[in-house]
Amino acid sequence: MNAVARTDAAPRWVGFALDGSRFALPLASVSRIVRAAGITPLPDAPDGVAGVLDVAGTIMAVYDLRKHLRLPRRPMRLDDQIIIARTPRRELALVIDHVLGLIEAMPAEIAHVPGVLSTSDGLVVIQDLETFLSPEDEATLESALRVAEVRCKQNR
């Protein structure tokens, strides 16, 4: 099968839901989507990090997307999903309620928001992975992850 270049097509997004609200990430930044799993607390992590998760042998930070979006916090449920997404500096795990699917749409510009997609089902807010962690939080997370990796190797 020959691949056809998508030169005039709308950008592609992964839509997901949290507490009935709809959000999206650029498809190019999403590595995979996995089922909910146990999160291990990460001492000394930045406030926005819920803990760490072992994803195929890689220790990955789990970011509290609900805190970032100012939604009510709640414990993870068995039917939740986790989006593994790449930021410019690292991969993060984001706990979500569920994936809505692939969205092809042009974003609309709105002040103070990375963008909004208009779909036949309503509006979807685009999330900017570059702003999830401040430089200070990034440094704190890096240090906490190094300590966790050392502990993990010692326990093997």
- 7 inside domain: no
Tell me what pLDDT residue 89 has. 81
In a domain, 46, yes or no: yes
Which residues have CB under 8 Å from 52's CB, separation 6+?
Answer: 39, 40, 42, 59, 60, 61, 62, 145, 148
Domain, as residue range, for 77? 19-154
Residue 10 lies in a domain: no
State the pLDDT at residue 114. 73
pLDDT value, residue 34? 92
Identify whether 82 is part of a domain: yes
pLDDT of 2: 44
Q: Number of structural domains, the chain? A: 1
How far apart, in whole angstroms, are the C-alpha atoms of residue 119 and residue 47? 33
| CATH number of the domain encompassing residue 58 | 2.40.50.180
Could you read off the pLDDT tens digit of each residue along the chain, which spans 156 residues?
A: 444 444 567 899 999 999 999 999 999 999 999 998 888 998 888 888 889 988 888 888 998 888 888 899 888 898 999 999 998 888 889 999 999 999 998 988 776 667 888 888 888 888 888 777 788 888 888 888 888 777 777 776
Residue (of 75, 90, 85) closest to 126 by Cα position: 85
> 137 in a domain, yes or no?
yes
Spatial distance between the Cα atoms of 22 and 125, rounded to a whole number of angstroms: 6
pLDDT value for 46 = 86
